[in-house]
């Protein structure tokens, strides 16, 4: 495989790793390359991002590599944050919202166990849209955050309280919660998208 293809794969891995980032050791293991080659690939990617026409840069914090926006463009990112968005919720965000609504209070790890995939971004999207909020910390190692639906969630769906959610069928398995909850949220999907 050519070095340019490894660079492309590495860039994709950096993007896919999101906020958690990725270490050089992880890259060595995933790409099955030695440290010297990984360092060379990272140096080339860093060099590419240093050009003025690029909006992303490569940052290393301790041993973890992240893709991030360039600080010199921060005033534009602030404008984006301050501008009302018309973005729709992704399927992943809707699934996560359904799980949270029916299983609250629930941790991100528990959401991921039900969905079977990482849920950092959907959870962050739901927090940014004020549909969910932190409702406490779970007792145990690391005291992870627990999430629940917010008042805005109730307003969006025209509910007076969370008790107005339709009940899930008797004897439902935890793994089926996502599917059953999706049926409920499907009828509200268009309404939610119009309000966002």
Q: What is the topology classification, in CATH, of domain 91-195?
A: Arc Repressor Mutant, subunit A (1.10.10)
Overall pTM > 0.85? no
Highest mean pLDDT among 117-121, 156-160, 184-188: 117-121
pLDDT band at 88 (very low <50, low <70, confident <90, very high): confident
Q: Please, what CATH class does the domain formed by 3-71 belong to?
A: mainly alpha
C-alpha distances in Å from residue 127, one per residue of 118, 123, 133, 193: 16, 6, 6, 16
Burial 39-66, CB ≥16 within 10 A → b, else e: eebbeebeeebeeeeeebbbeeeeeebb
The per-residue pLDDT of the chain, averaged, comes to: 82
CB 13 within 8 A of CB 27: yes
The yes-or-no answer to whether 3-71 and 91-195 have a common fold is yes
According to the model, what pLDDT value does residue 60 have?
85
User: What is the Cα–Cα distance from 148 to 107, expressed in whole angstroms?
Assistant: 9
SS3 of residue 188 by DSSP: helix
Q: What is the mean pLDDT of residues 11-23?
A: 88
Q: Where are the domains of the chain?
A: 3-71, 91-195
Q: What is the mean pLDDT of residues 17-26?
A: 88
Q: What is the mean pLDDT of residues 51-60?
A: 84
Q: Quote the tokens at residue 142.
A: 């690391």
- Percent of the chain at pLDDT above 90? 36
- The 10s digit of each residue's pLDDT in 123-180 is 998 998 889 999 999 888 888 999 999 988 888 777 788 888 877 666 555 555 555 5
User: What is the Cα–Cα distance from 23 to 69, expressed in whole angstroms?
Assistant: 19
């Amino acid at each position: 495989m050519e070095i340019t293809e490894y660079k492309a794969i590495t860039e994709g891995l950096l993007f896919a790793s999101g906020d958690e980032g990725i270490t050089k050791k992880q890259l060595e293991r995933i790409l099955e390359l030695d440290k010297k080659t990984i360092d060379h690939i990272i140096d080339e990617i860093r060099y590419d991002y240093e050009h003025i026409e690029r909006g992303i840069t490569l940052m290393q914090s301790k041993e973890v590599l992240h893709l991030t926006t360039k600080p010199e463009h921060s005033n534009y990112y602030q404008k984006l944050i301050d501008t009302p968005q018309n973005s729709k919720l992704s399927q992943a965000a809707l699934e996560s919202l359904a799980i949270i609504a029916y299983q609250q209070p629930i941790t991100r790890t528990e959401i991921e166990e039900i969905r079977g995939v990482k849920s950092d971004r959907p959870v962050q999207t739901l927090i940014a849209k004020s549909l969910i909020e932190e409702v406490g910390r779970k007792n145990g190692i690391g005291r992870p955050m627990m999430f629940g639906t917010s008042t805005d969630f109730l307003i969006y769906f025209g509910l007076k309280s969370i008790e107005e959610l339709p009940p899930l069928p008797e004897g439902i398995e935890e793994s089926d919660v996502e599917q059953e909850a999706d049926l409920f949220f499907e009828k509200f999907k268009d309404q939610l998208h119009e309000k966002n």
